[in-house]
Chains A and B, each alone.
Chain A
Amino acid sequence: MKLSITTFKRSQTYLQSSCSHLWRGLNSIGNEEKIEIPKRIHRSPTDILRCLETTISRDPTAAHYKYHDDPYLIPMSNVGKRTFAMAQEAGRKAAHWVRKENAELFNHLEADPVIPSFLPKLVYTEESKVTEDDLIKVIANCQVQDAQIVYKLLKNQGNKISADLQQALLELVCYYNCSDGIAEEFIEERWFRQSSNLKERQRKTWKDSSFAEELFQTISNPTAETYCTIIQGMNKYFQVDRAWKLFEEAQNKGFVLTTDTYNSVIRVANFLKESFDMRWTFIVNTLDDMNKAGVKPNLGTLNSVLHVLSTMGTSRTVKDYILNILSEFKSLGIEPSLGTWYYVLVTYCKERGMVSTILHDIMNQLENKEQQIKDISDTNFFVTAMDICRNHLNDADLAKRVDKLLHVGSNYDLIGDSYKESIYYRHYFILMSTSIPLEEFMSNIYDVLVPNIYVPEPGVMSEILKQIEVNAAVDYIPKLWTDMTTFDHTDRESLVEAVLNIMVDDVSPKKDTTLTESFAAIAWDIYVKVENQNIKKINKINLTGDLLGKVMLMLLKNDDFDKACKIMDKLDRDHQTVAGVPKIEVLELFIDHCIERKMPTRAIICIEYCSDSGFPQCGVLASKLNEKLTLDEDHLNRLSRIVGDMKLSSKVAEEVH
Chain B
Amino acid sequence: MNLNKLNIIWRNVTTQKNVILTPTPIQKCFLVRKSTTNKDSSSSSSSSSSSSDSDEDVKTKTKIVKAKTVPPKNNEETMTKLNSLLQQLIKNDTVAKTSELKLARPKDKRVPKEQREARRVETNEKKLEKAVGEVAKDIGGDTKQTESELLTKLLSPIESKESSKSLNEIMKGMKIDREPKSVQKSKAEQVRNILQNVQTKRQDGVRTQPRARQSYQPRSRPPTSIVVEKIDLFGAKPLGIFTNKDLKETNLKTWQKLYEKELKLAITHPPANYFQEMILWTEQGKLWKFPIDNEQGLEAEKNVDFSKHIFLEEHLESWCPPKGPIRHFMELVCVGLSKNPYLTVEAKIEHIEWFKNYFEEKKKLLKEVGAIPTDGRKADQNKQIE
Contact of A294 with B246 in the complex, beta carbons under 8 Å: yes
Binds A, one of B39-47, B101-109, B117-125, B364-372: B39-47
- 1/0 contact trace for A101-121 toward B, CB 8 Å? 000000000001111111000
Q: How far is the CA of A561 from the CA of B276 in the complex (A)?
A: 57
Interface residues on B, range: 35 or more
CB distance from A324 to the nearest CB of B (A): 5
* Contact in complex: A64, B270 (CB < 8 Å): yes
Q: CB distance A188 to B285 under 8 Å?
A: no
A-side contacts of B112, CB under 8 Å: none
Query: B199 contacts the other chain (Cβ, under 8 Å)?
Result: no
B residues less than 8 Å from A175 (CB atoms): 254-255, 258-259
The answer for the CA separation of A295 and B300 in the assembled complex, in Å, is 43
Is B180 in contact with chain A by the CB < 8 A criterion?
A: no
| B265 CB contact (under 8 Å) in A190, A327, A365, A644 | A190
- The CB with the most chain B CB atoms within 10 A, among A171, A174, A616, is that of A616
Which of B50, B170, B227 is most buried by chain A, counting CB atoms within 10 A of its CB? Answer: B50
A115 to chain B, nearest CB (A): 6
Q: Is the CB of A168 within 8 A of B253?
A: yes
Q: Do A328 and B186 touch (CB < 8 A)? A: no
Contact string against A for B residues 238-270, beta-carbon threshold 8 Å, 1 for contact and 0 otherwise: 111111101111111111101101111111111
- Write the nearest CB–CB distance from A80 to chain B, whole angstroms: 16
Name the B residues within 8 Å of A259 (CB-CB): 249-251
* Least Cβ–Cβ distance between B229 and chain A, in angstroms: 6
CB nearest to B48 among chain A residues: A615
Classify the secondary structure of A's interface with B.
helix
Once A327-B236, A355-B221, A614-B42 are accepted as A-B contacts, the answer to whether A361 and B231 lie under 8 Å apart by CB is yes
Task: Kindly state whether residue A528 has any CB partner on chain B within 8 Å.
Answer: no
Other-chain contact of A260, B192, B230, B252 (Cβ < 8 Å): B252
Please indicate the chain B residues that have their CB under 8 angstroms from the CB of A171 in the complex: 252-255, 258
Contact B250 A295 (CB under 8 A): yes
Task: Say yes or no: is A560 at the interface (Cβ < 8 Å to chain B).
Answer: no
B237 contacts the other chain (CB 8 A): yes
Stretch at the interface among A52-60, A241-249, A551-559: A52-60
Q: Is A168 a contact of B254 with CB atoms below 8 Å?
A: yes
Main SS class of interface, B: loop
Chain B residues within an 8 Å CB radius of A391: 219-221
Task: Find chain A residues with CB under 8 A from B160 CB.
Answer: 501, 504-505
If A260-B255, A613-B188 touch, whether A647 touches B236 (CB-CB below 8 Å) is no
**By the criterion CB–CB under 8 Å, are A612 and B84 in contact?**
no
| Stretch in A14-22, A126-134, A575-583 touching the partner | A575-583
B290: which A residues are within 8 A, CB to CB? 43, 45-49
A281 at the interface (CB under 8 A from B): no
- Inter-chain CA distance A228–B164, complex, in Å, is 63
Q: Does B320 contact A (CB under 8 A)?
A: no
B250–A611 touching, CB < 8 Å:
no
B282 close to A45 (CB less than 8 A): yes
Q: In whole angstroms, what is the CA distance A331 to B49 when docked?
A: 74
Q: Which chain B residues lie closer than 8 Å to A504 at the CB level?
A: 160
B43 A611 Cβ-Cβ under 8 A:
yes
- Judge whether B187 and A413 touch: CB under 8 Å: no
Is the C-beta of A367 less than 8 angstroms from some C-beta in chain B?
no
- A505–B159 Cα distance when bound, in Å, is 11
Contact A48 B291 (CB under 8 A): yes
Interface residues of B in 276-298 (CB under 8 A from A): 276-280, 282-286, 289-291, 296-298
B167 close to A542 (CB less than 8 A) = yes
Closest Cβ–Cβ distance, residue A551 to chain B (whole Å): 14
Q: Once the chains bind, are B242 and A291 in contact (CB under 8 Å)?
A: yes
Q: Are B221 and A394 in contact (CB under 8 A)?
A: yes
Is A187 in contact with B282, judged by CB distance below 8 angstroms?
A: no
Residues of chain A having any CB pair with chain B under 8 Å: 43, 45-50, 52-53, 56, 58, 64-66, 85, 112-118, 139, 142, 167-168, 171-172, 174-176, 184-185, 187-188, 190-191, 225, 228-229, 232, 256, 258-260, 284, 287-288, 290-292, 294-298, 320, 323-328, 330-332, 344, 351, 355-358, 360-362, 365, 373-376, 378-379, 390-395, 413-414, 416-417, 434-435, 469-470, 493-494, 497, 501, 504-505, 542, 544-546, 575-576, 579-581, 583-584, 611-619, 643-644, 647
Can you list 18 residue pairs at the A/B interface with Cβ under 8 Å?
A43-B291, A48-B290, A53-B276, A65-B272, A66-B271, A187-B271, A287-B239, A291-B241, A291-B247, A327-B236, A328-B238, A351-B219, A360-B230, A395-B223, A614-B42, A616-B47, A617-B48, A643-B40
Question: What are the 3 tightest A-B residue pairs by CB atom distance, in nearest-first order?
Answer: A113-B297, A614-B46, A614-B188
